[in-house]
Chains A and B, each alone.
Chain A
Amino acid sequence: MPAVAKFNQVTGFLAKVETVNGTAVTLDAAADGMNAYIGDGDPAPPESLEYTFDGSIGNAPGTMAPQLRTTPNGRFRKGKFQFLLKGSGAEYTSSSVVPPNEVHRGLVMGGYVATFVTDHWEYIPASHGAFSSFTLRQYIHGELWEQAGVVADLSYESSGLGVPIWTLDYAGNATLPTEGALASITYQATGVIPSVASAIVGTFGNFTGAVIRKVSFKRNRNIDTARINQQLAGGHAGFVPGRTMPTFEVEIEKTAFTTTPFHASSALNPDALREAAISIPVSFEYESGGTYNQWTHSFPQAQLTNVQHSNDGPLATVTLSFAAHASTPSANDAELILVY
């Protein structure tokens, strides 16, 4: 019986922003480690390579059976990187103190720009057209999966009372996998434990007294547009991110209704609020991690776009979908993430 050649047991990620979009930069296991959340089970296997053109040249005219294929063209790979958002654990005295890579770089990969402000980091949506791309390496199955020009969509879910799990759904150019053992990766802030979904501060306009059961966020960033270039060997010049539609989906216990403006400190009238198209600020603060390990995610302006009535056994609940919007047609202020 031959020994097992490869295991699905350990994994690791490195990622670094590219100076020139799509041009791979050198990765360093000591400086570019991104601490992945893999849950309780085994890591997920590597996502497959995909091709813009699959190589099919149609059917044989004499038999209608498929013809011998040509080489597939336009190689890319889509994948998923999950992480837990946490702070640096150290006082943010200057721009030299940053949250760990998976947070600081992860949010930039998800389409934000990072700004150091006095005593915290702010992440706001990148200006249209000014996106950052990443070189990424995944170690899995004793193999190296290398990618360049990686951009991502971002989401997270905070269900029940656990730790919110953030997800980067990424896409980028890829090379064929090579053999390679997991490197000794240095991660940052390993002693810092992320905030759990407990004692969070949820605000929906004036409505601050909600009994919150679940919060999920989807940025809905379009990263599907591939740059096809017939002059390029391989033909695929990476992905171009486009529009976003940031959305919170929040499940709360139902409250007594309230009259106009339909959101009071301990009461909400969701269907009336939706029909009136009233814009309110919506934000969530996760502070249980302690000093220098807290974060806030807010939509300074948001409208209720869907009201789904639900229940948990005998308990009446409602799931609210809030969509962020910019304050003016030109203001880049639909979203704000603070890490402090």
Chain B
Amino acid sequence: MEYVLIPQKDGTAKRLPIPQEIIDATADRSAVVAYVRNPPKAALDAAETVPMQPTASQRRAEAKKHADAHAAADKKAAADREAALKASVAPYVNHKPATTEQERT
């Protein structure tokens, strides 16, 4: 089964089913394009209303945005962990061990 998503003015889309005989009508599928361009009103009215789907490039941009946001959050968390670790070991950094009996006591 094939459908074509036809954008509507309100931001939704109609998921219009393409009859198999239209798909089979012409080898170059020009009949499908003609059908979608000027679908029967009854078919369009009966078609399911769905949210308009993003384009392929929009999907990729959105995925990249999420990945970048997660990477930035991870980087900040790693920096925070490192800072906390540094703070926890700071008293012992550059600490000179006692070298004489007097210093040790």
Q: How far is the CB of B65 from chain A (nearest CB, A)?
A: 12
A175 within 8 A of B: no
Q: Are A130 and B1 in touch, CB under 8 angstroms?
A: yes
Q: Are B53 and A96 in touch, CB under 8 angstroms?
A: no
Number of cross-chain contacts by CB at 8 Å: 78
Which A81-140 residues have C-beta < 8 A from chain B?
A: 94-96, 98, 108, 113-120, 122, 126, 130, 132
A223 within 8 A of B: no
A220 within 8 A of B: no
B77 within 8 A of A: yes
A308 within 8 A of B: no
A108-B1, A117-B5, A132-B1 known; A95 vs B74 contact (CB < 8 Å): no
Q: Are B18 and A95 in touch, CB under 8 angstroms?
A: yes
17 more CB-based (< 8 A) A-B contacts, given A114-B2, A130-B1, A340-B56: A17-B1, A19-B21, A30-B27, A94-B33, A94-B36, A95-B29, A95-B32, A95-B36, A96-B29, A108-B2, A113-B1, A113-B2, A115-B2, A115-B4, A115-B5, A264-B74, A264-B77
> How would residues 255 to 291 of chain A score, 1 for a CB under 8 Å from any chain B CB and 0 otherwise?
0000000001111000000000000000101000000
A–B Cβ pairs within 8 angstroms, 27 of them: A17-B1, A30-B27, A95-B2, A95-B4, A95-B29, A95-B36, A96-B32, A98-B29, A108-B1, A113-B2, A114-B1, A114-B2, A115-B15, A117-B53, A118-B53, A118-B55, A119-B56, A119-B57, A120-B55, A201-B63, A203-B67, A208-B67, A208-B70, A208-B71, A264-B70, A338-B56, A338-B59
> How would residues 1 to 28 of chain B score, 1 for a CB under 8 Å from any chain A CB and 0 otherwise?
1111101000000010010110000011
Q: How far is the CB of B102 from chain A (nearest CB, A)?
A: 45
A306 within 8 A of B: no
A158 within 8 A of B: no
Q: Give the distance in Å from the alpha carbon of A132 to the alpha carbon of B20 in the complex.
A: 11
A31 within 8 A of B: yes
Instruction: Determine chain B's interface SS by DSSP, over half rule.
Output: helix
Q: How far is the CB of A101 from chain B (nearest CB, A)?
A: 12
Q: Are B28 and A96 in touch, CB under 8 angstroms?
A: yes
Instruction: Tell me the nearest residue of chain B to A267, going by C-beta.
Output: B74
Q: How far is the CB of B58 from chain A (nearest CB, A)?
A: 9
Rank and list the top 3 A-B pairs by shortest CB-CB distance, nearest first: A340-B56, A96-B29, A265-B74
Instruction: Tell me the nearest residue of chain B to A113, going by C-beta.
Output: B1
Q: Which residues of chain A have C-beta atoms less than 8 A from B28's C-beta?
A: 96
A244 within 8 A of B: no
Q: Give the distance in Å from the alpha carbon of A285 to the alpha carbon of B55 in the complex.
A: 15
Instruction: Tell me the nearest residue of chain A to B20, going by C-beta.
Output: A19
Q: Give the distance in Å from the alpha carbon of A117 to the alpha carbon of B36 in the complex.
A: 12
Q: Which residues of chain A have C-beta atoms less than 8 A from B29's C-beta?
A: 95-96, 98
